[in-house]
Chains A and B, each alone.
Chain A
Amino acid sequence: MKSDLALLKVNKVIIHEVPKHTKYGGSAGGPVYSEVESQLDQELAVYFQEKTISSLGSNKSFDIEIDSSSESPVPALLTKHFNSLVEDFVETSKKMAEHLYNIQDGTNPAGLLAVLDCTLHKERAMGLIKLEKEEGVRLKQQLLGGRLTFDLHILRDLVLTERTRVYKLALFVSIPEKEGDYDAAASDNQTGYGSYNEVATFFLNKFLGCKLRKEPHVATKHFYEAVESFVNEKVEDPVLRSQYHGHVVSELLSQSPTVSTEQFAETFLPVDLRKSFVDHLKSSEVPANFPKNNELIDRRLKKTLYEFQSGIRVIAPNDLDDGRMKITSLENGDTKVEIQDRLEEVRGK
């Protein structure tokens, strides 16, 4: 996200209970709505602010945008909320909870939807937290000014409790003079391979009506190219250049479904290079986190080209056995490449 998250202020929170919804109509007869916002003190406001910032700053957060082809009512509800001068926060949030209930099937666990009315300095923002809760745990509502609502401590305790800490979160920050466009991100605190798929399919597409701001195959290509340009522009030592290039290849070919630019920096680069690396990627518009898709760079991940001042070019497969090729820096600034192999053929080019 581009917004200054430190300025996030949570002004109102409302919670609706969204029970499991089977195709036979569910057992609880639809969502249990709050009729009024929950009571929010400074302690809780700061708690939700911190949760939002840390989730969206984590390596499980993705920049998103509205998908105009989506049938979700959430984008229209967001537009209405940000543009409306009339206080309709409760009704908007209820419609979001209703939509969540309607798109759920028997595989989606019961849970809660918390809707946060926020500001970031002068901009308005809305946060949505979808929280899973254990089946059978019944939450009691309380009366506030004669109207039913949930106690926010329930939500806080559920988020904190190890057993029920699975939640998904999205934040939409309005962009002045760009109606319907938001600085937005979504995250899933769940770890593991399923994490991104869950965000992408159900929470992101079906519920929020959004898609990733940058398609995975484009983000992956940009990442690869940005790392290459960083390595060639900022790293002088040829041995290190070769090593870092190897790291990006192995990262993209690894089993991990997503890439975090910060974690890549922390894992593979010395501390002195990390900041400039992350800044370089940011200025190249590479998302901080993205799901991997190598389809545009598949061929480039198979081989590495070494090009020298004199015109010599060496193309080597990336899955070479150890010891076949050795790169060394010489004191005079030259680079020595040693290849130990059997010569197959010599051709003019």
Chain B
Amino acid sequence: MPDLEEARTRWITELPIYSRFVDHVIAILRHELRDPGIQIYGRTKEIDSLLKKLILKPNKTYETLTDKAGVRVIVKFTEDLEVVGQFIEQRFNNYKKDDKRANLKIDQVGYQGIHYDIRLNDDESKDTEFDNIWAEIQVRTLAQHLWSDMAHELGYKPEVPVPDSMLRRLNRLSALLEISDDEFTSLLNLLRSMPGFETFKALRLLEGEFYKFAAVDYNKELSMHVIEALNHLYGAGGFVEQHEQFEQFCRQKERRLLHIFDENRNVLTKPIFLFQPESLMLFQLLEHDKFKLREEWVKHFPPRELEQMAVKWGTPYAL
């Protein structure tokens, strides 16, 4: 049995470091996993929870308890579990993976998240307060999260013994949510094959960046029209395939973008495309090749509107 008093004292002392470590790991994950559909948050263990765990799991010690700091990544679709998992495995050299799906037998249902115990790479953590500090990252779908959360509330780690009939009902819900995950993925694939899906997805990606600069309502129909017209300028895969370069562009040009949106926020006579998410697409294309952009633009929209946007971007057409 570990020395609980010593664990208590150490946890009080080290809690701020773990708390900062949680923030650090969240920042790393958020920087890479920018899809607005992904939720990332974290916590440090409450002191009573830590002590209870040490009592209930006597084989664990303060040092080997790796979930003192915890980060949760919740994705919408099961396919995203792989994407997030791949990133974690590439980003952190020191990790231990616990795939809950692999632990379930064919006749079992239940929680299917993927848990990673991670610490920073040696060159990152050496001589810092994060040296040998571990955190647990839980990766799960929204449906898995729902089941896990509710099961925790209703039956898992119960305060009072729960009858089998109730556990059976919980398991039935687990099976239902597993089916939900499959159905959501199946529907997503159907949706992807429908016309307009790529445009809609591009708009979602544009929105993700646009709302960092302007929290305004906009004309969605106009956005879809512009995206459809200009999408092929991003090559065969369209804007969606090039979204990483787009996000990089937004980061590199952040100061300029902030200036443009701040200066024009309260101006009445601004270009109609400026406070639309596709304005960012126009700025990127102006920067990349304003000649090709104009060639395409004039087939669909008034040239004057693009000329105004080019002035805003500081690279007017030489008229």
Q: Which residues of A contact B (CB under 8 A)?
A: 4-9, 42-43, 45-47, 49-50, 53-54, 57-59, 121, 260-263, 265-266, 271-272, 274-275, 278, 288-289
Contacts and interface: CB of A to CB of B under 8 A. Distances in A.
A272 B318 contact: no
B260 A6 contact: yes
Nearest to B315: A57
A288 B290 CA distance: 15
Interface centre among B312, B315, B316 (most CB of A within 10 A): B316
Interface string B279-293: 000000000111110
Nearest to B316: A57
B52 to A, nearest CB: 55
B234 interface: no
9 contacts: A6-B256, A9-B259, A46-B263, A50-B312, A53-B314, A57-B316, A271-B295, A275-B290, A289-B318
A266 B291 contact: yes
Interface string B291-319: 11001000000000001101111111111
A57 B263 contact: no
Interface of B: 255-256, 259-260, 263-264, 266-270, 288-292, 295, 307-308, 310-319
Contact of B311 (A4, A54, A121): A54
A53 B289 contact: no
- 7 A-B pairs with least C-beta separation: A6-B314, A57-B316, A5-B314, A274-B291, A262-B318, A59-B318, A275-B289
Contacts of A271: 291-292, 295
A294 B227 CA distance: 46
B319 A58 contact: yes
Contacts of A266: 291
B292 A275 contact: yes
Given A6-B259, A275-B292, A53 B316 contact: yes
Contact of A57 (B259, B266, B318): B318
Prevailing SS type, chain B contact patch: helix
Interface majority SS (helix, strand, loop, mixed), chain A = helix
Given A8-B314, A288-B318, A43 B267 contact: yes
A266 B292 CA distance: 10
Contacts of A263: 318
A54 B295 contact: no
Given A9-B263, A57-B311, A43 B269 contact: yes
B255 A121 contact: yes
A46 B259 CA distance: 12
A54 B314 CA distance: 8
Contacts of B308: 50
B267 A46 contact: yes
A47 to B, nearest CB: 8
Contacts of A262: 317-318
Contacts of B256: 4, 6-7
Nearest to B314: A6
Contacts of A6: 256, 259-260, 312-315
Given A42-B263, A50-B308, 16 more contacts: A5-B315, A6-B256, A9-B259, A46-B264, A46-B270, A47-B269, A49-B263, A53-B314, A57-B311, A57-B314, A57-B316, A57-B318, A58-B319, A121-B259, A266-B291, A271-B291
B316 A58 contact: yes
A145 B315 CA distance: 39
Nearest to B266: A42
Which among A53, A58, A278 has the highest number of chain B CB atoms within 10 Å? A53
Nearest to B290: A275
Contacts of A288: 318
Nearest to A271: B295
A125 B291 CA distance: 30
Contacts of B312: 6, 50
Contacts of A59: 318-319
B259 A43 contact: no
Contacts of A50: 308, 311-312
Among A45, A262, A265, A289, the one with the most B-chain Cβ atoms within 10 Å of its Cβ is A262
B253 to A, nearest CB: 9
A50 B260 CA distance: 11
Contacts of A9: 259, 263
A274 B291 CA distance: 7
A260 B317 CA distance: 11
A252 to B, nearest CB: 18
Contacts of A43: 267-269
Contacts of A49: 263
B47 to A, nearest CB: 48
Nearest to A277: B291
A47 B311 CA distance: 11
A59 B319 CA distance: 6
A260 B318 CA distance: 8
A173 B18 CA distance: 49
A262 B317 CA distance: 8
Contacts of A5: 314-315
A53 B317 contact: no
Nearest to B310: A57
Contact of A7 (B290, B311, B314): B314
A275 B291 contact: yes
A6 B308 CA distance: 12
Nearest to A10: B263
Given A266-B291, A271-B291, A4 B318 contact: no
Contacts of B318: 57-59, 260-263, 288-289
A4 to B, nearest CB: 6
